[in-house]
């Protein structure tokens, strides 16, 4: 089947058409969410805990982050005021299981400094800013790339942005929906366009299939339907990446998305 090229910003992404790519993404969501249900991301008790987790999860497995978060919780350091006044060395030791602990501790302190200077120490005030403006500010912070910024915006601040990670990119490439040269921004834009009118209701029901977590204070607080959709789609894509779409040996024959693979 002939493929057409289309443009998102300046680079090329290929598929049969923009409309087809958007339909495929909606279908991916329909299949995975139908299969696994609500994933209850992000597992945290407060927006600050989400911010901390978004930094800690860089370059490490979530299980290591859980250990670091447990240490912080045991020392009451998931409270913004306590974190602000704690010595850097105390934070470093607490988050040691997450790896790169010195770098991550100093970057988290930088974030708190930014919050204090710019928003009088208020996460509510920070998250009340327009999405594009706040995103640009977060991206200026040392150690905050697009995935971390968007995780903070979506999961801690309920801003309607889609988080693109390595699993997302791999899935799109394997299904012929994006070229390897597609940028983070192009993929983010494609997902946000595809899902802008898809509404997902929140549910308290727990599903530990896919990449599901137990319900938490953050995963059950009310949020807009579009935010909920971006939240769930990112989570189920992580689920498919962990369970089936590995880097070297994808298990397509068992994967719920097998029917969507392009013909060879």
Q: Does 174 bind ligand SF4 (CB under 6 A)?
A: yes
Q: Does 178 bind ligand SF4 (CB under 6 A)?
A: no
SS3 68: helix
Q: For tokens 């769930």, what's the residue?
A: 232
Choose which of 251, 262, 263, 264 interacts with ligand SF4 (CB under 6 A). Answer: 251
Beta strands in the chain (DSSP E): 4-8, 11-15
Task: Give DSSP secondary structure letters for 191-256.
Answer: HHHHHTT-----------STT-----HHHHS---HHHHHHHHHHHHHHHHHHHT--SS---TTT-T
Q: Does 244 bind ligand SF4 (CB under 6 A)?
A: yes
Q: Does 261 bind ligand SF4 (CB under 6 A)?
A: yes
Site for ligand SF4 in 203-242 (CB under 6 A): 240
- Structure tokens that stand for 173 in this block: 């490439």
CA–CA gap between residue 216 and residue 39 (Å, rounded) = 11
Nearer to ligand SF4, 56 or 187 (CB): 187
Q: Does 252 bind ligand SF4 (CB under 6 A)?
A: yes
Task: Supply the minimum distance, in Å, between the C-beta of residue 191 and ligand SF4.
Answer: 15
Q: Is the dihedral of CA 146, 62, 33, 224 positive or negative?
A: negative
Task: Supply the minimum distance, in Å, between the C-beta of residue 39 and ligand SF4.
Answer: 16
Q: With contacts defined by CB under 6 A, how many residues of the chain interact with ligand SF4?
A: 13
Choose which of 171, 218, 226, 235 interacts with ligand SF4 (CB under 6 A). Answer: 171
Task: Please give the residue ranges that form the binding site for ligand SF4 (CB under 6 A).
Answer: 171, 174-175, 240, 244-245, 250-252, 255, 257-258, 261
């Amino acid at each position: 089947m002939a493929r057409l090229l289309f443009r998102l910003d300046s680079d090329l992404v290929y598929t049969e058409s923009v409309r087809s790519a958007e339909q495929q993404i909606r279908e991916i969501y329909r299949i995975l969410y139908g299969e696994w249900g609500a994933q209850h991301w992000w597992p945290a008790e407060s927006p600050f805990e989400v911010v901390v987790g978004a930094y800690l999860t860089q370059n490490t497995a979530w299980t290591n982050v859980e250990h670091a978060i447990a240490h912080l919780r045991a020392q009451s350091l998931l409270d913004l005021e306590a974190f602000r006044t704690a010595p850097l060395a105390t934070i470093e030791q607490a988050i040691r299981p997450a790896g790169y602990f010195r770098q991550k501790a100093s970057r988290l302190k930088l974030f708190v400094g930014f919050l204090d200077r710019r928003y009088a120490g208020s996460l509510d005030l920070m998250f009340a800013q327009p999405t594009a403006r706040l995103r640009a500010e977060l991206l200026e912070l040392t150690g905050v790339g697009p995935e971390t910024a968007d995780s903070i915006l979506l999961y801690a601040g309920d801003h309607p942005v889609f988080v693109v990670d390595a699993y997302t990119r791999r899935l799109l490439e394997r299904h012929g929906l994006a070229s390897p040269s597609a940028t983070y921004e192009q993929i983010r834009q494609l997902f946000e366009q595809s899902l802008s009118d898809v509404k997902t209701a929140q549910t308290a029901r727990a599903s530990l299939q896919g990449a599901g977590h137990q319900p938490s204070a953050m995963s059950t607080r009310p949020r807009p339907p579009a935010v909920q959709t971006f939240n769930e789609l990112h989570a189920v894509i992580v689920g498919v990446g962990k369970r089936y779409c590995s880097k070297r040996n994808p298990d397509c024959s068992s994967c719920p998305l097998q029917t969507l693979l392009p013909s060879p």
